[in-house]
Copies of this chain bind each other. A is one copy, B any other.
């Protein structure tokens, strides 16, 4: 009777119970042979079960049946009354078939399952998730460092830009002074040696250099930028000694018409020297916006949003606006009034400016040579004076 196979004891005992003819009054096969019946539950539990198991509880027996996948066969004795309810209990399993004990090994006890695979899956998932979060964290630290590096580099860029801009302003000032000086020089020469034949405020063809004009316009913005960005100082200082650039240029901006108006009064023709460039307003506005970009770094981050918002509302139209003037035309006008060179230029046609400027460069040097060559070759008395 003893199965030495891998069939659990419960199944072999159950099979024995059902097969055993001596217990047929308590437990036996159904007519179809695909299930078994427990005829007298009470006596079966108390008299038969203890002979095979370590208990006499029908409940424990049923528990085992369920553990091995047996199912109770429900009796739908619909019309039958109470006493019918005490009818035999019937259990069934696909592999518990009369005469086929070889199927018993297919009956598997339910492992205290619920989550053997579920648990394992979770465990694996947990590991994956944990490592995932870990790597994400590491990546984040990496990106954090990179962000900080970029931020510092950007700050350095701002500093560099501010520096360059400052140098630009100073260059502007130098060029301004140069122009002023040349003007004064020429004016002196003119006044001393010549009679004025034509209006002072106009050149031969009335053209003028918008670039030079802009040269003197832009420092205003730069100084504003500098001031706003760096210390937010009020630029209401007066024209006293040691006034800083922002104040200087700002004062320039604050006294816009002063120079021109007296000049106009003194010389009516200068009134005509009005703005020819319509996009100037846009230019000024745009540059102002651009100049709100802080040049120092603490306020940068804080004011970046407003700055950007402003910038976003003011698309990059400065460049196209700024270059709307025609320096070539100006150049041409200058050169055309001149003799040899302008003729050369007129002959050029589609000559590239670069080489044109090369020629200018050469010309300047020629000029130097001409000038320098003179005293040494023809006018030795110059050096004598020196």
Contact = CB atoms under 8 A, between A and B. Distances in A.
B372 A184 contact: yes
A40 to B, nearest CB: 11
Interface in A62-121: 73-82, 85-86, 90, 92, 112, 114-115, 118-119
B215 A351 contact: no
A328 B218 contact: no
Given A78-B1, A151-B146, A337-B376, A318 B360 contact: no
User: Counting chain B CB atoms within 10 Å of each CB, which of A56, A139, A159, A301 scores highest?
Assistant: A159
26 contacts: A4-B73, A52-B76, A119-B122, A132-B133, A136-B137, A139-B140, A149-B304, A153-B301, A156-B300, A160-B161, A166-B322, A174-B212, A179-B364, A180-B331, A180-B335, A186-B367, A187-B386, A190-B374, A191-B382, A200-B370, A213-B358, A223-B323, A246-B323, A251-B328, A252-B353, A256-B354
A365 B198 CA distance: 12
A259 interface: yes
A309 to B, nearest CB: 9
B168 A171 contact: yes
A285 interface: no
A contacts with B: majority SS: helix
Interface in A154-204: 154-204
Number of copies: 3
A357 to B, nearest CB: 2
Contacts of A362: 201, 208, 260, 263, 270, 273
A338 interface: yes
Interface in A243-258: 243-246, 248-258
Given A161-B157, A186-B367, A188-B371, A382 B167 contact: no
B144 A147 contact: no
Given A188-B372, A189-B386, 10 more contacts: A146-B147, A153-B301, A155-B311, A164-B164, A188-B371, A200-B340, A204-B372, A258-B345, A270-B366, A273-B365
A39 interface: no
Interface in A1-39: 1-4, 9, 12-13, 16, 20, 22
Contacts of A340: 187, 200, 266, 386
Given A157-B154, A197-B374, A362-B263, A357 B213 contact: yes
- Contact-residue bracket for chain A: 35 or more
Given A308-B152, A308-B155, A319-B295, A258 B200 contact: no
Given A78-B52, A160-B165, A381-B193, A320 B231 contact: yes
Contact of A261 (B119, B136, B250, B351): B351
B386 A252 contact: no
A237 B313 CA distance: 29
Contact of A290 (B159, B217, B250, B262): B159
A243 B147 contact: no
A241 B185 contact: no
Contacts of A53: 77
A275 B144 CA distance: 46
Contact of A143 (B147, B239, B253, B349): B147
B354 A216 contact: yes
A184 B338 contact: yes
A226 B319 contact: yes
Shortest beta-carbon contacts, A-B, top 3: A252-B353, A258-B351, A256-B352
